Chain A
Amino acid sequence: MRELLPVAMLGGVLGLDVVCFPQMMISRPIVAGTVAGAFVGDSATGMLVGATLELIALATLPFGASRYPEWGSAAVVGSAIASAMHMQASGAITVGVLMALATAWVGGWTLVKLREWNAWLARRKRGALEHGSRGAVVGLQLAGLTSDLTRATILTALAYWLLSPLARAMVALWSFDATVSRAVTVGAACAVAAAAAWTIFHTARGARWYFAAGLMVGLLLLTLR
């Protein structure tokens, strides 16, 4: 567990990116997963978990007040767990994805609580805000940013600390071989990605034909390689 502190700090920074600062989308699973993998010494495995999660994350669009999973911290947790096992075990990728999804669910809940906390802070400062207090405006913003960084860091630390031993125990008892395990995970992720692509883009005229043409090209490329 030497890696707990750096992993938690990475999760904090990437969790902060999801909504608060700077929204560069370095919290997207394909980035967060790869970087988390590099942190524990196996960026290739981290990228595999990150890419799988990225396919799944295509379905969740971060529209304003809607509730959505928090992928930044989650991708760090899942990828770090899988990368720490270095793909030796057959279920490493699948278990990593599972742990990331569970963390993303809890992370989404913590985002809702953070917004309620920010509202409570704003209510406490209402008088000062109504008088145009510069200190209240800046203070509220800094309190929100600090709270989010703290939220994401604690979430990552707790999730990694609790789920890492569980993941190792699961992988030790894993009975399916690596090919079947990955096929199930990838099949499920591709289903979500394809449904998301259809749902998001089908309203654009002709998009379904573009999707079909792209699919043909993708399959053709696979057969030619």
Chain B
Amino acid sequence: MTAAATPRGFPAPAPAPHVSAMTWVSVFGRMLAIQGSWNYETLLGNGIGFALEPALRRLPGGVHSDAFKQAMTRESAYFNAHPYLTSVAVGALARAELSGVPPERIERFRTALCGPLGSVGDRLIWAGWLPFSSLIALVAFGFGATPMTVVLLFVILYNAGHFGLRAWGLYVGWTRGLAVASALGNPVLRQGPAYIARAAAAVAGVAIPLAASRILGFRGPLFVGALACGAVIAVALVRVHGRVEGWKLVLVLIALFALVSVAR
């Protein structure tokens, strides 16, 4: 990632400074811990500074220079985005800092990136890829897959998307620099969530009865009754959307059931 591959139509960033492969490995590794000090005041801010630090050591004068310290101050301030897509910001900010872009431009750019990286990531990953991967694992479970198969299927499928997105983000951020916002128009990011949602909806329909059947270990009137009751409760949950959390309702229902079972 040392060459500036500028896509047609985007303003060319300044020539890319040399950054060693080991530095990129270090930056990537630190990005996996980007939420390590997540808090309600600076959110991801310190994590951005932490991930960028190996790249910022390349600034003239190294870690003892004023340029390094000022960059660390800027990059450790408040930042909010989806943790996987912060890789786009990390790549672009590394490029901007090492290319000597004026601080006020970097700060404006940093602020502008927060919203898009948050909303795109939430739709693509938390409301798309994660439930899709879970449901695929539940289908495998429902078909009678072994524990090892179910676990490996989920971990490999989910993380193919996870690590792929982080690596793409870092690459595109570094190569496009401050022009990286245009990369968020990538069809995968714009239309991907809708496609994944449709696929996940179909997989959910298959997964729920199959998984229920395997957990129960039998089929018959009781199985049909459980699914029917489940459907009624599901409709009720959809109707009171936002006012009752499903997992809390299950907790109360099972606690009451357990109480009756133990007490009678």
A→B interface (CB under 8 Å): 19-26, 28, 30-31, 34-35, 37-38, 43-44, 46-48, 51-52, 54-65, 69, 91, 93-95, 97-98, 101-102, 104-105, 115-116, 118-119, 121-123, 129-134, 137-138, 140-145, 148, 170, 173-176, 179-208, 210-219, 221-222
- Of B13-21, B104-112, B228-236, the one contacting chain A is B228-236
A104-B134 in contact (CB<8A): no
**CB of B32 within 8 Å of the partner chain:** yes
B205-A129 in contact (CB<8A): no
B226-A184 in contact (CB<8A): yes
Q: How many A-B residue pairs have CB under 8 A?
A: 355
Main secondary structure of the interface of B (DSSP, over half): helix
Q: How near does chain B come to A175, taking the closest CB pair, in angstroms?
A: 5
B194-A205 in contact (CB<8A): yes
A30-B138 in contact (CB<8A): yes
- Binary per-residue interface labels of chain B (89-117) against chain A in the complex, 1 for a CB within 8 Å, 0 otherwise: 00000000000000000000000000000
Q: How near does chain B come to A62, taking the closest CB pair, in angstroms?
A: 6
- Binary per-residue interface labels of chain B (180-217) against chain A in the complex, 1 for a CB within 8 Å, 0 otherwise: 00000000000001100111111111111111111111
**CB of B25 within 8 Å of the partner chain:** no
Q: Tell me which of A115, A119, A188 has the highest count of chain B C-beta atoms within 10 A of its own C-beta.
A: A188
Question: B130's closest neighbor in chain A, by CB?
Answer: A25
Identify which of A141, A148, A180, A215 contacts B50 (C-beta below 8 A): A141
Q: How near does chain A come to B44, taking the closest CB pair, in angstroms?
A: 9
Question: B68's closest neighbor in chain A, by CB?
Answer: A132
**CB of B10 within 8 Å of the partner chain:** no
Provide the residues of chain A in CB contact with B39, threshold 8 Å.
115-116, 118-119, 121-122, 144
A23-B205 in contact (CB<8A): no
Q: How near does chain B come to A151, taking the closest CB pair, in angstroms?
A: 13
Question: B84's closest neighbor in chain A, by CB?
Answer: A23
Give complex CA distance A174, B263 in Å. 8
Question: A90's closest neighbor in chain B, by CB?
Answer: B261
28 contacts between A and B (CB under 8 A): A34-B147, A55-B211, A61-B126, A64-B43, A64-B122, A94-B254, A94-B258, A101-B247, A102-B251, A115-B39, A132-B68, A134-B63, A140-B46, A141-B37, A143-B37, A173-B261, A187-B233, A189-B215, A193-B208, A197-B131, A200-B127, A204-B193, A204-B197, A207-B197, A210-B205, A211-B204, A213-B202, A218-B209
Provide the residues of chain A in CB contact with B46, threshold 8 Å.
122, 129, 137, 140-141, 144
Provide the residues of chain A in CB contact with B246, threshold 8 Å.
56, 59, 191-192, 195-196
Provide the residues of chain A in CB contact with B253, threshold 8 Å.
184, 188
Provide the residues of chain B in CB contact with A64, threshold 8 Å.
43, 80, 118, 122
- Of B1-9, B154-162, B169-177, the one contacting chain A is B154-162
**CB of B120 within 8 Å of the partner chain:** no
Known A116-B40, A190-B226; judge A222-B213 contact (CB<8 A). yes
Give residues 219-264 of B contacting A (CB, 8 Å): 219, 222-223, 225-227, 229-235, 237-238, 241, 245-251, 253-255, 257-258, 261-262, 264
Provide the residues of chain B in CB contact with A201, threshold 8 Å.
197-198, 200-201, 204
B134-A183 in contact (CB<8A): no
A192-B137 in contact (CB<8A): no
